[in-house]
Amino acid sequence: MTATPAERLAALGIVLPAAAAPVANYVAYARSGALLVVSGQLPLVEGRLASNGKLGGGVTVEMGAAAARACMINIVAQLDAALGGLGAVRRVIRLGGYIACTPDFTQHATVMNGASDLAVAIFGEAGRHARSTIGVPSLPLDAPVEVEGLFEVDDP
């Protein structure tokens, strides 16, 4: 028997936080048919950034990967809120990662693996996805990472 995403979360010891409310003029998620887009999520843990600053400038690759993982947990919390449970998620189609970094930083992919690895751990083969990882000069609240996602879900 295959484990459900909720069972995998429990096995990983992850309790989803409440989905964060938007802090500006946007929605946390938008749905069109069987596609659901989750707006960029920051690495908030209990309402505070897991770390802040830039990769290559005080934030280590390990801290960045942990921040990307925290972003993915917050994306999953948005999915849970949008769908009333994770059983309706059919596939993680794409993740987009924004890495605040110094101009000479080049380990973006390793940082973003924090989110990608968790997507696969939660959703199994359906968690394998396309992705983009982009270095940027800054992110809101001086976050080191922000991650957004596109998902295929059950038809409404």
Cα separation of 19 and 29, whole Å?
10
Tell me the per-residue pLDDT of 62-86, one tens digit each, with 9 for 90 and over. 999 999 999 999 999 999 999 999 9
The pTM assigned to this predicted structure is 0.97
H or E stretch at 40: strand 35-41
> Is the distance from CB of 136 to CB of 84 less than 8 angstroms?
no
Residue 1: pLDDT over 60? no
5-14+36-153 CATH pick, 3.40.50.800, 3.40.640.10, 3.30.70.20, 3.30.1330.40: 3.30.1330.40
Q: Domain locations in the chain?
A: 5-14+36-153
Please tell me the predicted confidence (pLDDT) of residue 2.
Answer: 80
Cα separation of 105 and 109, whole Å?
11
Cα separation of 39 and 74, whole Å?
10
Tell me the per-residue pLDDT of 4-57, one tens digit each, with 9 for 90 and over. 999 999 999 999 999 999 989 999 999 999 999 999 999 999 999 999 999 999
H or E stretch at 10: helix 5-12
